[in-house]
Amino acid sequence: MSDRRYMRVATHMPPGHVRTPAYLRGKVGWVERTLGPFPNPEELAYGVTAAKLRLMRVRFTMAEVWGPDAEHPDDTIDAEIYAHWLSPTDAPHAT
């Protein structure tokens, strides 16, 4: 679908409290809806003043996340990811 807004999740691997699941890092999905802004949990977790960020619900196909190991390629995973972990990108190649 051409009107989908695709996003790639950053591949950062910082220590500490991060709400971006490791299994989604580097993966491409599309924005299901936008939420927030909410205070950044990476700052809240340490008791410091937290900047407010947009929170995106991003939808990934199982094929994108697990590749050939996917149980059912067209099933999906939705996750909430803070905007600073996302950058706009093109649709992933068909799998």
Partner 1 sequence: MGGDAAGPIPTEQHDFSLWEKRVDALMVIASSKGHFTVDGLRRVLEDMSPQSFETMTYYERWIASVNQNLIESGVYTTAELAARMSDVAARGATYGEASHE
Partner 2 sequence: MPHDHHDHLSPSGHPYRPDDDHPLTYWQQMEIAIREILIEKGVTTAAEINAQIDAMDARSPANGAAVVARAWTEPAFRDDLLRDASAASASMGFDIGPMKLIAVENTADVHNVIVCTLCSCYPRNLLGLPPDWYKSRAYRSRTVKEPRKVLAEFGVDLPDHVTVRVHDSTADMRYIVVPARPDGTDGWSADQLAALVTRDSMIGTGLPKDPGAIAQTPR
Decide which of partner 2, partner 1, none touches 48; Cβ closer than 5 to 8 Å per partner kind. none
* CA distance to 11, 13, 19, 58, 93, per residue, from 69 (Å): 20, 23, 24, 21, 17
Q: Cβ closer to partner 1: 1 or 13?
A: 13
Which residues are at the interface with partner 2 (CB under 8 A)? 19-21, 23, 35-36, 38, 41, 55, 57, 59, 65-66, 69, 71-72, 74-82
Q: Cβ closer to partner 1: 45 or 91?
A: 45
Contacting residues toward partner 1, per CB under 8 A: 16-17, 19, 21-24, 41-42, 44-47, 65-66
